[in-house]
A and B are shown apart, each in its own frame.
Chain A
């Protein structure tokens, strides 16, 4: 029938729109085009199918169908299985779940963490979602959040103070990640602009800072934070370890953000600056309205990449004795009741990081799509 149509003659200019041949669309078309288009493709398809078949079912069996969700200790766990270790013992994670989340945060004050977490989500929604009624107030709230959050967590001013050494687990990881992300972006942008400034002194300071920080491993900076800084501070003064770590992590990621943003700035044609200048926009207005929106848009993949790196690198604080989720988990592995459950623990931690980082990646993709305006320039 398709052939008949193709042969049928139409007067010039009178050719109607015809449906495409069946074999190029729909699920059948998709399978033909993507899975079976050539002998090599067919081989690869079969190979992948075999791999999936041999990996997925055993993993699912272990992690879900044969898994044990409540038990008093590892022996109890294994006793409940057909044979020991046939399934995962999630009871271990469940039992330590609150510890993993709150660290040693005092039990009666944990509501403050919960409130801070809800506020954090609101702040994130406020920043990321457009078309919110009263968007301006959401943004103000987001700017204020780090301070509100810090107050809720650390206390003081009417709340019972909680020492930062009590922070641990996911709470600590999220604190480091969120602080690093919120403060390194503006700092990184400022450094990038400084590096391109016409003022030689400012430029030199920014270049030296960026290159120094980029040239030193984060672990080294963390050691500096935990040991050396005390030499520089006046004797007797205490400067909270967590604070020092937060500063170092922020500076570290700011240096990378600065380079990513500088790349974005260089991606703009000089015509954009000239057009802004010729309209009489000042340096700050031109950057705020014209240059940065475009440069940051170009830099989104790099910025999110840096954020994801920062979030994952936060586990390095365990080297200087802070108990983030990884440090805490490893400590729990030594509990005689739960010896030998490392796979469960690391899978859980991996899943936690994956979910956080994957949502960042997905969000950045959707943001890129949203900002797409069909450039031709």
Chain B
């Protein structure tokens, strides 16, 4: 599982880029939140993004599926450029899954209905087929027995796993995770991380905003450190943790490691 050789493989035999971000800027009103972001993510690559609160991590990954709109530069996802064109946005959203810190399950629907909703209404899959596939994913996240419960009746860890199954059921090529374990109690963090590690091993392209350093070392090919809207450092996890280059990174690491 913890296989640093992966890193080498990728650099020796680079797969094609699936996300390309070029000179991207974003403002909230007058506030310059992302500054000149350049990032290339290859197919199957797993990237962990960390950085202090307010550094723009969430905003960056939310730009990738257009939950936030960037104002300058380009973002290309699997050959489709993100523009005002609603068609492009639709294409990209159907290929990119997202998991949120607060789960954001639909509370009026059962776990199973949460998972089947998008396949039925976006992919136009027949209900029976959607349910079959949903059960497969609920098994994969190890909660098939909770399928008929409502989110309000599930624990945080179970809810987050339903949320992961919900995204996976759309067969995305890329998965975005925005602090998926930050709202969880310690004993539930592991059950969610296990699912994510399993997903990583299956070859999914993943961008994960997290401060779980164990997870980063175990599965990430690269760790990206952000501060004040810029990418400060971008290196394989070992090097990143053991030998950070920038003062800012060192300070940040000392803070979260002594936490």
- Is A278 a contact of B65 with CB atoms below 8 Å? yes
Mask: chain B, 160-182; 1 = CB below 8 Å from A; 0 = not = 00010011001000000000000
The interface size bin for chain B is 20 to 34
- Is A280 a contact of B90 with CB atoms below 8 Å? yes
In the bound complex, residues from chain B placing their C-beta under 8 Å from that of A114 are: none
- Is A272 a contact of B122 with CB atoms below 8 Å? no
In the bound complex, residues from chain A placing their C-beta under 8 Å from that of B153 are: 373-374
Q: How far is the CA of A275 from the CA of B96 in the complex (A)?
A: 12
In the bound complex, residues from chain B placing their C-beta under 8 Å from that of A269 are: 102, 104
- Is B104 a contact of A275 with CB atoms below 8 Å? yes
Query: Any chain A CB within 8 A of the CB of B241?
Result: no
Residue of B nearest to A288 (CB): B121
Instruction: Given the known inter-chain contacts A278-B96, A278-B98, please indicate yes or no for A293 contacting B108, CB distance below 8 A.
Output: yes
Other-chain contact of B106, A272, A280, A282 (Cβ < 8 Å): A272
Other-chain contact of B100, A274, A293, A297 (Cβ < 8 Å): A274
In the bound complex, residues from chain B placing their C-beta under 8 Å from that of A281 are: 117-118, 121-122
Query: Any chain A CB within 8 A of the CB of B107?
Result: yes
Other-chain contact of B151, A278, A371, A377 (Cβ < 8 Å): A377
Mask: chain A, 253-291; 1 = CB below 8 Å from B; 0 = not = 000000000000000010110110111111001000110
- Is B118 a contact of A376 with CB atoms below 8 Å? no
- Is A279 a contact of B90 with CB atoms below 8 Å? no
In the bound complex, residues from chain A placing their C-beta under 8 Å from that of B108 are: 293-294, 297, 371, 373
Other-chain contact of A373, B102, B107, B122, B167 (Cβ < 8 Å): B107
A292 to chain B, nearest CB (A): 10
Q: How far is the CA of A275 from the CA of B121 in the complex (A)?
A: 14
Q: How far is the CA of A375 from the CA of B107 in the complex (A)?
A: 6
Q: How far is the CA of A289 from the CA of B117 in the complex (A)?
A: 9
B116 to chain A, nearest CB (A): 11
In the bound complex, residues from chain B placing their C-beta under 8 Å from that of A293 are: 108
Query: Any chain A CB within 8 A of the CB of B51?
Result: no
Mask: chain B, 92-131; 1 = CB below 8 Å from A; 0 = not = 0110111010111111100000000110011000000000
Q: How far is the CA of A2 from the CA of B187 in the complex (A)?
A: 40
Q: How far is the CA of A271 from the CA of B98 in the complex (A)?
A: 12
Q: How far is the CA of A272 from the CA of B102 in the complex (A)?
A: 10
Other-chain contact of A275, B90, B106, B122 (Cβ < 8 Å): B106
Query: Any chain A CB within 8 A of the CB of B152?
Result: yes
Other-chain contact of B118, A274, A280, A374, A377 (Cβ < 8 Å): A280
Other-chain contact of B152, A272, A282, A294, A377 (Cβ < 8 Å): A377
- Is A272 a contact of B104 with CB atoms below 8 Å? yes
Residue of B nearest to A268 (CB): B107
Q: How far is the CA of A89 from the CA of B13 in the complex (A)?
A: 98
Query: Any chain A CB within 8 A of the CB of B15?
Result: no
Query: Any chain A CB within 8 A of the CB of B67?
Result: yes
Query: Any chain A CB within 8 A of the CB of B252?
Result: no
Query: Any chain A CB within 8 A of the CB of B215?
Result: no
Q: How far is the CA of A371 from the CA of B106 in the complex (A)?
A: 13
Residue of A nearest to B98 (CB): A278
Q: How far is the CA of A269 from the CA of B104 in the complex (A)?
A: 9
- Is B93 a contact of A373 with CB atoms below 8 Å? no
In the bound complex, residues from chain A placing their C-beta under 8 Å from that of B66 are: 277
In the bound complex, residues from chain A placing their C-beta under 8 Å from that of B105 are: 275, 377
Other-chain contact of B104, A271, A297, A371 (Cβ < 8 Å): A271
In the bound complex, residues from chain B placing their C-beta under 8 Å from that of A371 are: 108
Other-chain contact of A280, B67, B103, B122, B152 (Cβ < 8 Å): B122
In the bound complex, residues from chain B placing their C-beta under 8 Å from that of A377 are: 102-103, 105, 107, 151-152
- Is B100 a contact of A275 with CB atoms below 8 Å? yes
Instruction: Given the known inter-chain contacts A280-B90, A280-B93, A280-B170, please indicate yes or no for A274 contacting B104, CB distance below 8 A.
Output: yes
- Is B150 a contact of A374 with CB atoms below 8 Å? yes
In the bound complex, residues from chain B placing their C-beta under 8 Å from that of A374 are: 150, 152-153
In the bound complex, residues from chain B placing their C-beta under 8 Å from that of A275 are: 98, 100, 104-106, 163
**Contact residues, A188-220 vs B (CB, 8 A):** none
Instruction: Given the known inter-chain contacts A279-B117, A279-B166, A280-B94, please indicate yes or no for A274 contacting B107, CB distance below 8 A.
Output: no
12 other contacts beyond A275-B106, A376-B151, with CB at 8 A cut-off? A271-B104, A274-B104, A277-B65, A278-B67, A278-B98, A280-B122, A281-B122, A290-B117, A374-B150, A375-B152, A377-B105, A377-B107
Instruction: Give A contacts to B, CB under 8 Å.
Output: 269, 271-272, 274-275, 277-282, 285, 289-290, 293-294, 297, 371, 373-377
Nearest 6 CB-CB pairings of A with B = A374-B152, A271-B104, A275-B104, A373-B150, A279-B118, A278-B98
Provide a sorted-by-A list of 13 A–B residue pairs whose CB atoms are within 8 angstroms. A271-B100, A274-B100, A275-B163, A277-B93, A278-B67, A279-B170, A280-B118, A282-B90, A373-B151, A374-B152, A374-B153, A377-B102, A377-B151
